[in-house]
Chains A and B, each alone.
Chain A
């Protein structure tokens, strides 16, 4: 085995340190719940270590975010099922068609919960609210591209979608955020 366990382990630790805070905030924005966000991040870390143990550290970032996004989508699916059972089918919009994506169209979780730790000042509060209002796919695409700095193709890998979809989702998110945050960041 040509693996160098100690150095590899240190490199992995360093890698996880570089992504964990952003991952936590992305999961918080997506779910609106702190505990859920922690669970999602921990699951993503475990999944990465189990599945991609032999990958070079330089290739890990998009793979980690792919797992994180999978976990977030899984969480949304579970929430969707719960909501459907609770509201007995009343949550789906009237304009539902063949292309309707229940995950993409789920309303953002209530931003008035204790997980709103992004809130530091008015601008931050507005950004937090605006991000949470975005459809999940736009929200996460925007965070991965604009904040985490993934390339379009890396974002497509993480989001399990085409490069074209990433561009469209990012553009829509950016447009919406600029409109909503115009008062704070013109």
Chain B
């Protein structure tokens, strides 16, 4: 005579066996759909993984650029102001001849050269 736990175990074995049979006997169409679902999930996973590779790489690049900009190589040193050139600039701006004259200096210089060649 089989005990209660034994009968329960037999019952569970029968249930498992039937369910396993059902899982094993899925038709080709069902298996194909499952494969498609699995492939889609795996594809999504690899895309997500690639993004995870890209993000840290981008962060490293950005950090490198920032470090370079902050490094002594790129340190901005204020240039000493050339007093003579500054005075010349002020003269040009405040001159009564006006900016146009200085802009046309090249023309006047060419005109005088041209006149000499003509002689």
Contact = CB atoms under 8 A, between A and B. Distances in A.
Interface of A: 1, 3, 5, 9, 12-13, 16-17, 20-22, 24-25, 34, 38, 41-42, 45-46, 48-50, 53, 117-118, 120, 123-124, 127, 143, 146-147, 174, 177-178, 181, 184-186
A53 B23 contact: no
Given A45-B37, A45-B38, A117 B26 contact: yes
Interface in B72-114: none
**Which of the listed residues A12, A41, A49 has the most CB atoms from chain B within 10 Å of its own CB?**
A49
A175 B113 CA distance: 117
Contact of A22 (B23, B37, B44): B23
B45 A50 contact: yes
Contacts, number: 101
A46 B40 contact: yes
A144 B102 CA distance: 93
B18 A124 contact: yes
**Which of the listed residues B15, B21, B40, B53 has the most CB atoms from chain A within 10 Å of its own CB?**
B15
How big is the B interface, by class? 20 to 34
A49 B41 contact: yes
A20 B24 CA distance: 11
B64 interface: no
A24 B34 contact: yes
Contacts of A123: 14, 18
Nearest to A147: B19
Given A123-B18, A146-B12, A181-B11, A49 B23 contact: no
